[in-house]
Structure 1
Amino acid sequence: MSEKVVLLPKTATRSVPARPALHRVLLVNDDFTPRDFVVTVLGAVFRMGPERARGVMLTAHRRGCCVVAVFTREVAETKAGQATAMGARAGYPLRFTTEPEC
């Protein structure tokens, strides 16, 4: 008498992919870049309306720096680079940096 071997399907365990780490884009205040130019850059790179961009610019002016937006690392670094490059092309020391979000 032979025994039949029954093969059960393997159960697949699905792991939930980890969310990508988020990074903040910071606008660093300087005393040389015109305020209107900063508002223009915020609108062009970060798609902010004039009122919101002006508020971000004034916060950076008063506090020394301001969080502009939060993105994944790659997007944050790209946008910070684009915004800083716009300032450099115009001859201003405008600077945007990134940092990991806590």
Structure 2
Amino acid sequence: MTQEDQKIIVEPKKKVKPNLPKMFKVLVLNDDFTPMEFVVDVLMKVFTKTEDEATRIMLKIHTEGMAICGIYPYEIAETKMNQVLKLAKEAQHPLQSIIEKI
């Protein structure tokens, strides 16, 4: 068998897509008792928002009943939600936070 008779078959490589983590929205819910200043402070501490960003989000929470404060993989979203709840409980405010899958 000569080299011309031998053929090498090369199969195209399959494209491998990385497994991206499922993402979750962290929402803060409005209530009639938590001071707006406290909400702004929490948004700045937990979500590293600027004062202007935190104020805009707080106003959206106040007028629309809730707002997205960030989008993260599950473990981070859960941690952020729990940080909000802990700060609210320590300050004796009823502020609530939830996560929702995107």
Q: Find the aligned partners of 1:96 and 1:66 in 2 and give their Cα distance.
A: 10
Q: CA offsets per residue over residues 37-81 of structure 1, 9 Å max, x none?
A: 000000001000101001000001101111111000110010010
CA shift for structure 1 position 13: 6.5
SS in 2 for 1:96: strand
1:49 counterpart residue number: 50
Partners of 1:55 and 1:13 lie apart in 2 by 46
Q: Which amino acid aligns with 2:61?
A: A
Question: Counterparts of 1:57 and 1:83 in 2: how far apart (Å)?
Answer: 13
Unaligned runs of 5+ in 1: 1-10
Number of the residue aligned with 1:36: 37
SS at 1:39 equivalent: helix
One-letter amino acid matched to 2:27: L
- 5 Å-filtered alignment, 1:1-102, equals 15-101=16-102
Over the matched positions of the two proteins, sequence identity in percent amounts to: 35
Distance 1:49 1:96 in 2: 19
Query: 2:7 matched to which residue of 1?
Result: none
The alpha carbon displacement at 1:84 in A equals: 1.2
Query: So what's the TM-score if we normalise by structure 1?
Result: 0.83
